[in-house]
Every structure is written in C-alpha cells, then in structure tokens.
Amino acid sequence: MTDLPALAELLETARVVALPMHTRFRGVDVREALLFEGPEGWAEFSPFPEYGDDEAATWLEAAIADAWHPRPAGLRDRIPVNATVPAVPAERVPAVLARFDGCRTAKVKVAEAGQTLADDIARVRAVRAEMGPEGRIRIDANAGWNVDEAERAIHALAPFDLEYAEQPCASVAELAELRERIRYLDILVAADESVRKATDPLEVARAGAADLLVVKAQPLGGIRRALDIVADAGLPAVVSSALDTAVGLSLGAALAAALPTLEFDCGLGTASLFADDVADARPRAGWVSPARVIPDPAALTRLQASADRRDWWIARLTRCHTTLAQR
C-alpha cells in the first residue's frame, strides 16, 4: 500500500472499544472495534475476530484511507436506511422494530443455524404485521441455504411480498441457478458475501447471478474501491454495515452519499442494535447522515475494552499493518 502511515501514528490515538448489543446478532453479543484518528478524522478498524490477517488488512486499508484522505464528494445529504431484524422469536419483532425510528424497510435474518423454516416464516410474518402492507421486507440468509432449500424458503416467504433475498446461497453458480428458478416470483437476488469475500468481486455480475450488489466500505478496502466495483458491475447497489460502530457507519453513509444512484434503502441503521455506542448514529425518521462522526470522549472511556482485548487488537493491527506494507 502506498502512502502507508507509520504504525506509531496509528497507535498514538488507538482506542479499543466494546459495544454491548440489545440482541445477539450473527453470534455477537459485544462488538469490538479499534478506532484511531488521522488528519481527516476518526476511522474504524473492526474485522470480525475469526477473519485472517490478509482479509483483515483490507479493512485496515479502508480505515487508513478514511483517516488520511478526504472522502469523495457526496451527492446527497441524508441516506434512507432499513431496520435490521436479527433471528429473534416472532414475539420479539415489535420491540426490535421500535428501535428503528421511521424505517419503512426491514431486513430480516433467516436461515439461522439451529432454527427452521417455520421460525423464519413466523418472524417475517410478524414483521409484515408490524410494518403493514406499505412496508418493504427483504431477507438475508448469509449463504445459509443450498439451491433447493433457498427455492423452497423463498417460495414459502413470497406471500409476504419480499423486495429481495440477500445471499441466499454461497456460490456464484448457486445464485445464478436460483435466480433462474425464482424469476417467476419477481423477487430479486442480492449478492453480499459473493462480493466482499470474493477474490473477484465482479464474477457475480458477469455470471448474471444477482440483480443487485450489497457493498460494505470496510471489507472492500474503502469508499473509492467500492465505488469502482459498483461502476464496473453495472448493477444497483445497497450499502450496508459490517456491524460497525458510529464511526464506521459514517464511512458507509459517505459511500452511499457518493453513489451515482441510490435506488434502495441502505443497511446503515444498525446503530439501533447497540445498547451503547461511541456516538449516536441511530436513524431518525428513517434516515442517517453521511457526515463524519467524532466519538464522544466520555463514551470512549465508558466503552473501553479490557486490557487483554486491547492487547489482542493492537497485536492484530500491528500484523495487518505489516501485511499492508508488503502489498
């Protein structure tokens, strides 16, 4: 990576925080992140703990770019966002949606390990009942189904008027086959993991395996690289979070603000999943701001991670910085 700041510059302002969540989401009860400040402002480095250093280094590349370089000019000053419903029992859906002020779109997690299609149907039914006929519902399976399972599940959930199914299957070939199978349902297929975790993020577009892309600023290496991928793919894009703190969410919102077109509500309202955060980035009337976020000093202190977890993140930052220096 060219123009890589010295590790000491990152460590000088590094703060490791641990954010408690209202509800377990993707197996996470407490979300950890490392924040640091550069010439342009605060940035976030928060790859999930199970990610290897090579993948995590791309997240660091995004954070450094955000802290050391100006963001692209935005084309809009507010971003419409969706509510996010974890794989909770149906009776808990109203309480979850109540935290997302004014959101008229909901993304519902499905295909959770240990749960059944009946659980998914009950959850989506509860979301539809809560949002009414005008609300928009999309589902996210996180690649949890094979093609046959996905076809069966989407057919069962179609009566609830789905906007799209996000990453219903793992591989590009499976997505392409499923897209053909469910075409008659007029339900779109969105690709997430097939973009952000792929060695070739454009393969899914070339294969005709998706109708739209879900892009995330940190995993893709920053705003400019994400913009290039969207432009090269020639598909509509939804910007989503990687369960970021308020700092990382502002990076995602800046990406959404810079897209030439924005046809879908974005998954950038996930601050409402946290019981506490370094700043308030929760949606208001269904919108979030793309402005840079300055963490609250009191929140940085209140949410600081334990000494052993800080050491773990500093060691990870050091390794990923070395990886970037070698690229």
Annotation marks residue 197 as catalytic: no
Would you place residue 3 in the very low, low, confident or very high pLDDT band (cuts 50, 70, 90)?
Answer: confident
Sketch out the chain's domains with CATH numbers.
7-72+297-326 (3.30.390.10), 79-288 (3.20.20.120)
Mean pLDDT, rounded, for 290-300: 98
Which residues participate in the annotated binding site for Mg(2+)?
Answer: 140, 166, 192
Written as one string, the DSSP assignment of 165-192 is EES-SSSHHHHHHHHHHTGGGT-EEEES
Q: Which of 216, 310, 316, 321 is catalytic?
A: 216
Mean pLDDT, rounded, for 219-243: 97
Tokens (6 digits) for 268: 């950038």
Full-model pTM: 0.96
Q: Which of 71, 78, 109, 321 is catalytic?
A: 109
Would you place residue 282 in the very low, low, confident or very high pLDDT band (cuts 50, 70, 90)?
Answer: very high
Helices (H) and strands (E) in the chain, counts: 12, 12
Position 1 scores a pLDDT of 64
> Do the strands 105-109 and 136-140 form a parallel or antiparallel pair, or are they unpaired?
parallel
Residue 2 has pLDDT above 70, yes or no: no
Separation CA 126–CA 275 (nearest Å) = 23
Position 25 scores a pLDDT of 87
For helices 172-181 and 147-157, give the axis angle rounded to 10 degrees.
40
**44-91 pLDDT per residue, tens:** 999 999 999 999 999 999 999 999 999 999 999 999 999 999 999 999
- Residue spans of beta strands (DSSP E) within the chain: 15-25, 28-38, 41-45, 79-80, 83-85, 105-109, 136-140, 162-166, 188-191, 212-215, 237-239, 287-288
Position 42 scores a pLDDT of 98
Separation CA 317–CA 322 (nearest Å) = 9
Asked if residue 168 lies in contact with residue 149, where contact means CB atoms within 8 angstroms, the answer is no
The mean pLDDT of the chain is: 97
Mean pLDDT, rounded, for 13-39: 95
In single-letter form, the type of residue at position 323 comes to T
| Percent of the chain residues topping a pLDDT of 90 | 96
